[in-house]
Amino acid sequence: MAIRYAISSGNWSNPAIWDGGTLPTAADDVFANNFTVTINGTFTVLTIRNTSNTTPPVANGGGFTFANGGNLTCTASNGLIPRDISNLFLLTFDLPSGQSATLTANALTAPAATSGRNILVQNTGTFNIVGNYGMQSAVANTRATIFVNGSTTLNIIGDITCSQSNVNTSSTLWLNAGAPTINITGNVSGGLTNSFTAAVGNGIFSGVTATINITGNITTNAAPSIFLVGGTLNLIGNVTGLNAFPAILNATTAATIDLLGITTSGNAFPAVSGLTTTFVKVRGNVINTDTFYAIYAGRVTIDNNVTSWQFKDSTNTITRTLYTAGVALGNPATSNVRLGTTYGASGELTGTLTMPIPATVLLGVLTDATTGTLLMTPADFWNYLISSGFTTNSIGDRLQNASTVATTGSQIASYNI
């Protein structure tokens, strides 16, 4: 490992801006040294920093910014080391629409100073981030690991976490201005602060009309994982509340929250909570833990035929589950169920199978869930022939006028000449 630092502002690819006249390597910690370095190509280092150093002497301040197509990888477990000073960003993305840059790095904390922030994202371009981002506890306000200040498109592959345990306003991902589009593939969790105040210990705080698309799970600790002030949140993944705070909280302004996954309340609080103007679209299973509602909002809809909602009865001992019509619950086909039998989760199915009654099936032959009871004796046959022997067009009726040897002989014998 070596310490490398800029000796003037300029493009990263220019050896003349670096001490020693050569580019930093993958084994180096790189300091801005109070200059601005533009990332104008693809580079790999251990860390980037705008802190000071004694040997060799490196000054505080400065930072790094992206040119179009810039691609930086920091391989250390905590790749971004910022200075503790207000509004002094270590790394800036500021590109217009149609331009983009990529960062592959982990940033596990933010500066401890008020308004201490690692990354500034602004303008309208596309910024791609691969890595995990966190927020550790510090007694200072408005801190953020990633601070979004424009209508950019921000794509993150990695987890957004928060371990803050004080009541100061700080969030790992802070959406401050514009109407950004945020796409996250990863999990989001809240901090350890017992507060409903905006941006206090949230994984994500959105104070703007943003569109946030997440593929991953949302879990809360003692603070909401996601705090919304309006906008749209589309989630593919599970949401789990805790004992005192929701995982997702909407306040002040109407928001739309679309949930595709399992939404489970905490044992004392909803998983999703919002105003009467909060619109929650449920497209997955919902579980009310104990008797606490998993979703608390003014407007709730249930989409498609795979949704179920689990409740507890008034004794909190028996689970009752409501299903939308058509849910595949392992029910038999209607053609395999006795004619007229009503069944299904809500009695929406009726059997169509016609079964003979046991009295019409030969004794001992299986029919439905029993056996036939029909028993024919010789007397039954004889009595039937007697009772029906001379009905019209029966065999007896046809034979009663038929000639026999005996009847013909009698007729001849009785004939007198």
Inform me whether the pLDDT recorded for 303 exceeds 80.
yes
Q: What is the pLDDT of residues 86-129, one digit of tens each?
A: 999 999 999 999 999 999 999 999 999 999 999 999 999 999 99
Look at residue 332 in the predicted model and tell me its pLDDT. 86
Residue with tokens 């929250």: 257
Average pLDDT over residues 368-376: 78
Residue 263: closest CA among 291, 295, 302: 295
416, pLDDT greater than 80: no
Answer yes or no: are the C-beta atoms of 342 and 352 closer than 8 Å.
no
**283 versus 13: which is more confidently predicted?**
13
pLDDT of residue 51: 96
Would you call 295 exposed, middle or buried from its count of C-beta atoms within 10 A (0-12, 13-18, 19+)?
A: buried
- Measured between alpha carbons, how far is 276 from 71 in angstroms, rounded to an integer? 44
Is residue 404 pLDDT above 90, yes or no? no
Q: Where are the beta strands (DSSP E) in 194-341?
A: 200-206, 211-215, 218-219, 226-228, 231-236, 239-240, 248-250, 255-260, 263-264, 272-273, 279-282, 286-287, 295-296, 299-302, 308-312, 319-323
Please determine, for residue 284, whether its predicted confidence score (pLDDT) is greater than 60. yes
Confidence (pTM): 0.80
**Whole-number Cα distances in Å, 322 to 244, 258, 286:** 26, 20, 10
Lowest pLDDT segment from 21-30, 275-284, 355-364? 355-364
Per-residue pLDDT, 260: 95
Give the model's pLDDT for residue 308: 87
Inform me whether the pLDDT recorded for 338 exceeds 60.
yes
Alpha carbons 31 and 63: distance in angstroms, whole number:
8
Tell me, what's the pLDDT at 259? 96
Please give the pLDDT value at position 60: 95
pLDDT confidence band for 389 (50 / 70 / 90) = low
Q: Is the pLDDT of residue 361 over 80?
A: no
For the purposes of burial, counting CB atoms within 10 Å of the CB of 321, is it exposed (0-12), middle (13-18) or buried (19 or more)?
middle
Q: So what's the pLDDT on residue 367?
A: 81
Q: Is pLDDT of 322 > 80?
A: yes
Q: What is the pLDDT of residue 400?
A: 67
**Tokens found for residue 67:** 């040119």
- pLDDT given for residue 37 in this prediction: 98
| 18-50: pLDDT as tens digits | 999 999 999 999 999 999 999 999 999 999 999
* pLDDT, average across residues 173-190: 97
The separation between CA 194 and the C-alpha centre of its own chain, rounded to angstroms, equals 25
The pLDDT assigned to 398 comes to 67
Q: By CB neighbour count within 10 A (0-12 exposed, 13-18 middle, 19+ buried), where does 284 fall?
A: buried
